[in-house]
């Protein structure tokens, strides 16, 4: 009975392998990164003192990392990545899991969630200190900023060759990383834009 069960499992596994779209392809990626941190408030008093205009961060740098392209079925692929991005005094680790769909022979669209881990957010801390000083609510900045965030990413790519792809992506921050004294009316979210190339081995 055990031999029959083992033979059935091996047969089923072999059938699954034969029907697989393709083996996963590993690669590296890198390029230009722009990060935009928005300080948003719906409070008229905060708007009056100019918080929205007072604390804006827009920095350009680079990103680099690795990825895996997994063919699922037909023109549909899944592409998880692990990226490091740096722009002036900001640096992050990104973990996007992108769904890719080829709408044409070499052109695909991307969409998926992205986890963000901050490793250096000194620019944001300085802006928070300036904002809280302006509002008279000074506190410990390290206690009011979260280092973890969730984004939604949308993008597109074009396969220049079988191994080289040009891709661009915009990520919208969903989570508010600020929980300070005026956290009820002040939201701080980080959006990123990246354009670069991916090389598959």
Element (H, E) at 13: helix 2-19
Q: How would you class 64 by CB atoms within 10 Å of its CB: exposed for 0-12, middle for 13-18, buried for 19 or more?
A: middle
Q: Tens of pLDDT along 118-132?
A: 888 888 877 777 766
Each residue of 133-175: pLDDT tens digit? 665 555 566 667 788 999 999 999 999 999 999 999 999 999 8
pTM of the model: 0.78
Which domains, from first to last, does the chain contain? 21-200 (2.40.160.20)
Non-local (6+) Cβ contacts of 155 within 8 A are 98, 109, 110, 111, 167, 168, 169, 170
């Amino acid at each position: 009975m055990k031999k029959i069960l083992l033979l059935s499992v091996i047969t089923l596994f072999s059938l699954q392998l034969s029907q697989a779209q393709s083996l996963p392809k590993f690669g590296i990626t890198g390029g230009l990164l722009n990060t935009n941190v928005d300080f948003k408030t719906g409070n008229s008093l905060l708007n009056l003192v100019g918080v929205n205009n007072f604390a804006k961060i827009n920095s350009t740098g680079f990103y680099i990392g690795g990825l895996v392209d997994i063919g699922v079925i037909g023109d549909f692929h899944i592409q998880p990545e692990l990226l490091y991005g740096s722009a002036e005094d900001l640096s992050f680790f990104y973990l996007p899991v992108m769904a890719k769909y080829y709408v044409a022979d070499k052109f695909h669209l991307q969409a998926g969630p992205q986890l963000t881990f901050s490793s250096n957010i000194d620019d944001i801390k300085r802006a928070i200190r300036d904002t809280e000083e302006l509002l008279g609510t000074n506190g410990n900045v390290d206690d009011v900023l979260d280092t973890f965030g969730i984004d939604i990413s949308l993008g597109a790519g074009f396969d220049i060759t079988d191994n080289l792809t040009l891709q661009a992506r915009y990520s919208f921050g969903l989570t508010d990383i600020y929980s300070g004294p005026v956290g009820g009316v002040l939201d701080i979210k980080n959006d990123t834009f990246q354009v670069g190339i991916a090389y598959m081995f």
